[in-house]
Chains A and B, each alone.
Chain A
């Protein structure tokens, strides 16, 4: 099974900061990677798919990059509503899929 490893597991940042979360796959997955945002008590929300394609309705301050095994999610200017937990997901092995362990973004 393909393993997905995110870093960091958690960190603190301030409104207005630029932040980057990384996701590494245990084997090459081309660009079959998605990013989700989850807030407490809510279902995950799709932000980005195909590694860099912004889902409709998602603010342009979110961006994704990478291919193969290394990927990043960048938030260019943190807003208060962005404090949440973020997950990457590989779907290279579709229909089987795996998620990263999550990165919790907290307010500094």
Chain B
């Protein structure tokens, strides 16, 4: 069974940094791309970014709203994906979900439980 568990959320001041982790199990982590999706309180879902598997170069893509501030990385030996968030803004306050797409697809059958990031002074 695929399991994704996010951690690292919390309260952080504007302008500061935070790193989220997504620990995966139940599948061969290194074979899959991983994505992050967020949801501001009472709002809809927003795609944040994506990292390809090493077989496809391990390269990343980001939403315009976070490009240049957020960085996604992966440690295949530990089955963990990371979301490094720098220069945080109040509008980054959200629940952050780690997701895995299905085979050769862009939809998300697999989601973590989410971790809440609150950016406030």
Given A87-B44, A96-B47, residue A49 in contact with residue B111 (CB < 8 A): no
Of all chain B residues, which has the CB nearest A100?
B44
Is B61 a contact partner of A49 (Cβ separation < 8 A)? no
Bound complex: CA A36 to CA B106 (Å): 13
Partner of A46 from B64, B109, B112, B113 at Cβ < 8 Å: B109
> Is A98 an interface position by the 8 A CB rule?
yes
Residues of chain B lying within 8 A (CB to CB) of residue A36: 45, 108
Number of interface residues of B (CB under 8 A): 22
With an 8 A cutoff between CB atoms, is B105 at the interface? yes
- Considering only CB atoms, which chain B residue lies closest to A97 in the complex? B47
Interface of B is mostly: loop
**Chain B contacts for A102, CB-based, 8 A:** 44-45
Given contacts A34-B107, A34-B108, A49-B102, contact A95 B45 (CB under 8 A): no
Which B residue's beta carbon lies closest to that of A45? B111
A96 to B63, CA, bound (A): 7
Secondary structure type dominating chain A contacts: loop
Chain B minimum-CB-distance residue to A34: B107
Is residue B46 contacting chain A, with contact meaning CB distance below 8 A? yes
Contact B97 A43, beta carbon cutoff 8 Å: yes
B111, A44: Cβ atoms under 8 Å? Answer: yes
Closest Cβ of chain B to A42, distance in Å, is: 8
Tell me whether B111 and A43 are in contact (CB under 8 A): yes
Contact, CB under 8 Å: B106 / A94 = yes
Whether, in the assembled complex, A22 has its beta carbon less than 8 Å from a beta carbon of chain B, the answer is no
Are A99 and B47 within 8 A (Cβ)?
yes
A91 touches B109 (CB 8 A): no
Determine whether A101 belongs to the interface, using a CB cutoff of 8 Å to chain B.
Answer: yes
The answer, among B97, B109, B111, for a CB contact under 8 Å with A55, is: B109
CB-nearest residue of chain A to B51: A95
Contact indicator B105/A43 (Cβ below 8 Å): no
